[in-house]
Amino acid sequence: MTDNSIRTTDGRGRLYDSVLDTIGNTPAIRINNLAPEGVTIYVKAEFFNPGASVKDRLAVNIIEAAERSGKLKPGQTVVEATSGNTGIGLAMVCAQKGYPLVVTMADSFSVERRRLMRMLGAKVVLTPRAEKGFGMYRKAAELAEKHGWFLARQFETEANANIHAATTAREVLGDFDGHKLDYLVTGYGTGGTVTGLGRVLRKERPEIKIILTEPANAQLVGSGHAQERTAEHAPASSHPAFEPHPIQGWTPDFIPAVLQEAIDGGLYDDLIPVAGADGIHWARELAGREGIFTGISGGSTFAVSQKIAETAPAGSVILCMLPDTGERYLSTPLFEGIAEDMNEDEMKISQSTPGYQMG
């Protein structure tokens, strides 16, 4: 676009049968103001999904895979444990397809996530924060067994990594076809993103170094301590290395079976921990200096991308996964210090002309 031309759009060249058909094909966006000199950073903005997070991909595939296999019957209630984004994605999918949904969630997660799921028609059952992710997980399993509901099993199901191999990885390959890409940075919640990406990129773009990150004060993978599991590959207990952390959606208090495939299969090249405060800082920097509004998890992957960029060879290209939108974090530390009322500078601007001033 030239300086004196207006932006134009031509439509997508198709009509959509439902909101679910708009999931995926999220853009890789260049960072223009925050990337160190000599290094190019792109972010894959998963908040362009209709439910505003990467978990829309997982949600639609869990339901559709269960429909195909016959495990999910028409009108059957779906139940799942989630910190929010998977629940929001499932609520969207279930609303469109007509399935009742019950979500179990520890009461430590942001209030806006509960309200979004309820807005989309789901019922949200809160569990005590002291029981952590394992508690909400066990509650969902209890409810499924008691009532004959379909348990989504995002932490174990093959549908999780499969959708990232079929969509997320293919989008990366398509967007960077003919272009250099040296590093891809992602965190983990269930592990589906890194596992699905790793399966495909290891074969088709083996030169790309996949960097996994987790909270510095909850290094489950970094601890080297194996996760205890049941015969169904579900977690048998809370992981001893877990501590509460501010990066919602990342690192439950167990290592998911989906992530275990990436660990055992060597589907990433390095593991770099990140402090929650750094994630908050870089989420704010992305918003204020790039106009890119992501959550603490996105800020955390971007913090690690910046760390890699500091020592990467000149000309390196980095792709950073941004899992969701900053609007999921309005009641979290991400928005601490962001005032509702006018500050001193804003009052001065208001008072610089005589009319329409607040009393």
Q: What amino acid is encoded at 45 in this protein?
A: A
What average pLDDT score do residues 319-324 get? 98
* Catalytic residue IDs: 55, 297
- 19-49+165-335 against 55-151: fold identical: yes
Six token digits for residue 9: 């759009």
Report the C-alpha gap between 62 and 353 in whole angstroms: 57
Q: How far apart are CA 354 and CA 359, in angstroms?
A: 12
Q: How many residues are given for the chain?
A: 359
Q: How many CB atoms lie within 10 A of CB 67?
A: 14
Provide the mean pLDDT of the chain. Answer: 95
- Do strands 28-30 and 40-45 pair parallel, antiparallel, or not at all (unpaired)? antiparallel
Q: Tell me which CATH code domain 55-151 carries.
A: 3.40.50.1100
Is residue 195 within 8 Å of 267, Cβ to Cβ? yes
Q: Are residues 13 and 25 in contact, defined by beta-carbon separation less than 8 angstroms?
A: no
Tell me what the mean pLDDT of segment 172-180 comes to.
98
Q: CA torsion, points 57, 63, 68, 74, in degrees to nearest 10?
A: -150
CATH classification (class only), 19-49+165-335: alpha beta
State residue 280's pLDDT score.
97
Name the nearest CA neighbour of 179 among 47, 317, 277: 317
Share of the chain above pLDDT 90, in %: 88
Domain boundary assignment for the chain: 19-49+165-335, 55-151
Which residue in 313, 303, 301, 263 sits closest to 282, CA to CA? 303
pLDDT digits (tens, 9 = 90+) for 80-104: 999 889 999 999 999 999 999 999 9
